[in-house]
Amino acid sequence: MYKLDIGWPKIPEYFTGQTFCVAVDSLHGLVYVGQRGDNVPKVLVFSEEGYFLYSWNNTVEMPHGIFVLNTATDSSVWITDVGTGKYGHTVKQYSPSGKLMQILGTPGNAGSSLIPLQFDQPAEIFVEESGDIYVVDGDGGMNNRLLKLSNDYKEIWLTGTNGTGIGQFKIPHSVTVDPFGRVWVADRDNKRIQVFDKVTGEWLGSWSSCFSEDGPYSVRFTGNYKHLIVAQLNINRLAVLAAPPVGSIGDCVMVNTVQLADETKPHLVDVDMKSGAVYVAEIGAQQVQKYVPLS
């Protein structure tokens, strides 16, 4: 179903750190990469053709997840920062050029509070066009929860505690929303994907049968919402899963897999909803690779 685009990016040497996350702005043909390391730019911006455009470093410590939001009037880049310094434990909104616009959380302070809002190693974020925000918090800290926030950053609902039961999490690592009112969460260390009602936060179902070998690190839909792309870091694999019909979650069906090289370690992915291309942030290979659908 997918083949590697060996010409993306044109100059891989721009990857100078560990590449943890990638986000596609399909409206403007841009690809944002979050990387970690000392004295490296934390955000790299490429064109979808693979040309390096620019980088920025302002107030980002340890990027974990990244997301691009396009509205009718502007676009912005959201980054979850799991750093332990003065900018860490936050979710931040930037302009495309890297200007800091908004900080959610209490910078430098991990916590579980909702007023004021606090995170502990927030893993990933998904923002709807309405401005509603979904955050999975977090990547191994004290919190194992999924938060829905309004566009003025107030809690709409919150679900999840640490555990293996229904609606509980062990490292909720990635989150996405489908057009049918469902929120999908990669519950990494429980080796399952859990699904919730977008309006109420009610648990709708879970998938675990596809993840006996390794838990899901990412959840992203393909452009037609017929499949989910899931990275499995420890077995260096992308799984292509069939999206369920509306009204039923059912069981997991693995349609295809893309086997990556040993020690590639795919961490998070994003999908270009226009072209269908899948971008994979690989912390082992320290690169982002682009896979294009076979027509």
Closest CA to 141 of 176, 111, 108: 111
Query: If you average pLDDT over every residue of the chain, what do you get?
Result: 97
- Residue type at 126? F
pLDDT band at 246 (very low <50, low <70, confident <90, very high): confident
In tens, the pLDDT along 86-97 reads: 999 999 999 999
pLDDT band at 72 (very low <50, low <70, confident <90, very high): confident
pLDDT value of residue 150: 97
Report residue 190: phi and psi, to 5°.
-90, 0
Chain position carrying tokens 């340890």: 62
Average pLDDT over residues 170-191: 98
Average pLDDT over residues 233-252: 94
pLDDT value of residue 149: 98
In tens, the pLDDT along 206-224 reads: 999 999 999 999 999 999 9
pLDDT band at 232 (very low <50, low <70, confident <90, very high): very high
pLDDT band at 9 (very low <50, low <70, confident <90, very high): very high
Average pLDDT over residues 142-152: 97
Is 0.85 surpassed by the pTM of this model?
yes
Strand partners of residue 271? 278
pLDDT value of residue 87: 95
pLDDT at 295 over 80: no
pLDDT at 128 over 90: yes
Terminus-to-terminus CA distance in the chain, angstroms?
8
pLDDT band at 247 (very low <50, low <70, confident <90, very high): confident
pLDDT at 179 over 90: yes
Average pLDDT over residues 105-116: 96
Q: Report percent pLDDT > 70 for the chain.
A: 100
pLDDT value of residue 127: 98
**8 A C-beta contact, residue 286 and residue 271:** no
pLDDT value of residue 98: 96
